[in-house]
């Protein structure tokens, strides 16, 4: 079936640096993608919705200048964590809207970010 490929699966970075996470749709065009964050033992929290060719819509409380989302093509959305700090360490998951699937969505496998 349709797959969303998310890279990297894990990354360790130094405090103050920026990290880019890619979410790529394989074999289908993803006009809408979603980015989630998940802290240990907690549920997924929706961060933002990205639509191809337009600005992302951020959920309340999510800093858009810190979490830069780019959805420049129908197959690629990226999340850049800028000036990362230890409190940004989390599991980040992307999802794409997928028409024709049983539930209308498909999820990436997630990226574990550790900021040291």
Partner 1 sequence: DAKTTQPPSMDCAEGRAANLPCNHSTISGNEYVYWYRQIHSQGPQYIIHGLKNNETNEMASLIITEDRKSSTLILPHATLRDTAVYYCIVRPGMDSSYKLIFGSGTRLLVRP
User: Where does this chain bind partner 1 (CB under 8 A)?
Assistant: 6, 34, 36, 42-46, 49, 91, 93, 95, 97, 99, 101-105, 107-110, 112
When the beta carbons of 49 and 89 are compared against partner 1, the nearer one is 49
Least distance from C-beta 97 to partner 1, angstroms? 7
Least distance from C-beta 18 to partner 1, angstroms? 23
Q: Taking the CB of residue 41, how many other CB atoms lie within 10 A of it?
A: 5
When the beta carbons of 6 and 25 are compared against partner 1, the nearer one is 6
Please give the structure tokens belonging to residue 25: 């749709």
* Rounded Cα gap, residues 29 and 24, in angstroms: 9
When the beta carbons of 22 and 91 are compared against partner 1, the nearer one is 91
Report the candidate in 95, 99, 97, 98 with the shortest Cα–Cα distance to residue 107: 95
* Rounded Cα gap, residues 23 and 115, in angstroms: 20
When the beta carbons of 28 and 36 are compared against partner 1, the nearer one is 36
* Rounded Cα gap, residues 21 and 38, in angstroms: 15
Least distance from C-beta 15 to partner 1, angstroms? 23
């Amino acid at each position: 079936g349709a797959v969303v490929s998310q890279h990297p699966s894990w990354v360790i970075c130094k405090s103050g640096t920026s990290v880019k996470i890619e979410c790529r749709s394989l074999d289908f065009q993803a006009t809408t993608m979603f980015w989630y964050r998940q802290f240990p033992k907690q549920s997924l929290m929706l961060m933002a919705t990205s639509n191809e060719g337009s600005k992302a819509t951020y959920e309340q409380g999510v800093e858009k200048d810190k979490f830069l989302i780019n959805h420049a093509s129908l197959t690629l959305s990226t999340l850049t964590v800028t000036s990362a700090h230890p409190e940004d360490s989390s599991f980040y998951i992307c999802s794409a809207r997928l028409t024709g699937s049983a539930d209308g969505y498909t999820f990436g496998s997630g990226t574990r970010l550790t900021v040291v």
